[in-house]
Amino acid sequence: MCGFVGTVADSGGGGDPLSAALAVLATRGPDSGGRATGRLGAHEVQLGARRLALVDRAGGNQPIRRPSGALLVWNGEIYNHAALREALADRDVPFNGVSDGEVLAALLESEGVAGLARIEGSYAFAFLAADGPLVLGRDPAGVRPLVYALNAHGLAFASTLDALRATGRVRVEVDLEAIADVLRDGVVHSQRTALRGVCRVAPGEVLSFDASLTPRTERVPQAERSAVRDAPEQPDVLQALRAAVRDRLAVDRPAALLLSGGIDSALIGAVAREHARLPAFTLGYPGQGTVDETDRARRTAKRLGLEHEVVPCPLDPTSWVLGAAHAFDEPFADASAVPSWGLARAVGAHARVVLSGTGGDEVFGGYRRYWLLGVGPWLRHVPQFVRSSVSKVIQERMPQSARLLQAAGDPEGLYRGLLRLQPLAEVRGVLGPLLEGVAEPEPRAGPGTPWEAMADDLTRYLPDDLLVKEDRAFMAHAVEGRYPYLDARVRRAARDLELRGGPGRARQKQVLRAYVRDAVDTDLARSPKHGFSFPVDVLYRGPLRALAEDALLSQKARERGFLSPAGARRMFRDHLHGTRQSGQTIHAFVMLELWARRVLDS
């Protein structure tokens, strides 16, 4: 994992836009750094990178310069780089080193964007060909981040929004619609960022800039089935997962495993044991039995013979909330980011790579909400005032049922409603003058079937939420997250399963449960799924109360304009008295205010 930054501007523009940005990227690449300059027509191109050395530690430094003069900075890993190197060498393509980045640079130089179809891995890159163009690209799963801004200063791009800000080439002006996304869904969606004029490169998108700095957009081509390494005629899920785990453990630095109490991480642990005895890390919640999974994780670690460390969430997690807020370059209200940050800090003391079970539910249809789609049409026939009244009555004792009733009335359908923190209409009374005029976006029909929901998660929930959460939390401690379930071979094997009923009844996930039953634990295979949660309702009535009061009710928060002082006081009072569960909403405003203090006030 690395971080990079670049600018394209007229020659003689003056200043040093990279130094501060590279300092911001130091935790993403603590091992080395470098800079290079090139030309794109009349423009000077400045490129810089920080490196976390996992392969070819002695070499592989960035920027990578080809014999032709072409330059590459990038962030990611190419798991099949040895096979690609051999194929390119057969065509007399020269190499300067043995890192996987050298292969990516050679592939882009010799085959262009078409060569990306041959890559098994994750990446974000900037490649400057000897005579142009400048190409920015991102892997189809959206594992590695990349943002850019095209304005009067020219073009600037970086791995993170914080690094891009540090170049001084973007205005710090809030995108209020993006902030509304955070309050409604917990995250900034799609290609938008929290700052006006700054965009994300979308997953699988490739942007080519010529000397006029006019972008041309392409998509990463899909690999032909016969071109994918280790692709059997009829893919076997376990065989594909073994290949994915093997490739992700081919590193020169210590690796570790995130072990929850579920089957996804347990199966990765069982497969990884064939290659190495990885230390396993589990988050614990002392005294919070409903969300604590340490007992099941301990049993799994014991069965697999893994060295196991339980990382307890502090009884007062204020320091974790502050740490997470500092690690995220945008306001991010998915509360599970807080324990992710704390867990990553513990992993970072022992390893530089961590295997995660993220993606198992999206690829194998493991979420309960997939089959809940069947009740959506029926619930929509229930009048809205009935749904609202009933949900308020049962919210305290049956929160999941209340959530289902509320979600049924979502304008984008039940599925999108289940993923929301709350509709923007429900927090209108809390919004201050900056946000009270922001309109609800034009609704777009969400998924209506389990298959559509799985596809939606892979293009929206994963790249906008889960992968952002793990990238920022892990890289704050110089740890690279790797995701075997997002491997192309595993995804193809999951798609090719011809199981009656499909994901609508979690039939695909039964395949993973069968493997866990054989390789790990019969009882674990039967256990229900638990989410990776952070009990905000309880915590914001207890140890996080002081933090919430400061973020919501302080003079600084009142003057900022995101919150209505009267509405914020009313919401917080009702939450403290238990008349309304508002922990998620309070957490969203806390993370928004902490981000604003760090970014806007500076």
Q: Where are the domains of the chain?
A: 2-222, 233-366+451-526
CB-based burial label for 10 (10 Å; 0-12, 13-18, 19+): exposed
- Of residues 443 and 335, the one with the higher pLDDT is 335
pLDDT recorded at residue 498:
54
Domains 2-222 and 233-366+451-526 share a fold: no
CA 168 to chain centroid: 26
Q: Which helix (H) or strand (E) holds 562?
A: none
Output 150 or 437, whichever has higher pLDDT.
150
Cβ atoms 202, 146 nearer than 8 A:
no
- Across residues 309-337, what is the average pLDDT? 96
The predicted pLDDT at position 240 comes to: 93
Q: Name the CATH architecture for the domain at 233-366+451-526.
A: 3-Layer(aba) Sandwich (3.40)
The rounded distance, in Å, linking the Cα atoms of 22 and 511 is 45
Beta bridge partners of 71: 65, 128
0.85 surpassed by pTM: yes
* CATH number of the domain located at residue range(s) 2-222 in this protein: 3.60.20.10
Question: 395: pLDDT confidence band, cut at 50, 70 and 90?
Answer: low
- Going by pLDDT thresholds of 50, 70 and 90, the confidence category of residue 1 is low
Q: Is 381 exposed, middle or buried (0-12, 13-18, 19+ CB in 10 A)?
A: exposed
Least confident segment among 120-124, 353-357, 437-441, 492-496: 437-441
Q: What is the DSSP string of 497-542?
A: ---TTGGGGTHHHHHHHHHHHHHT-HHHHHSPP------HHHHTTT
pLDDT surpassing 50 at residue 234: no
pLDDT (average), residues 235-261:
92
Overall average pLDDT of the 359-385 stretch = 75
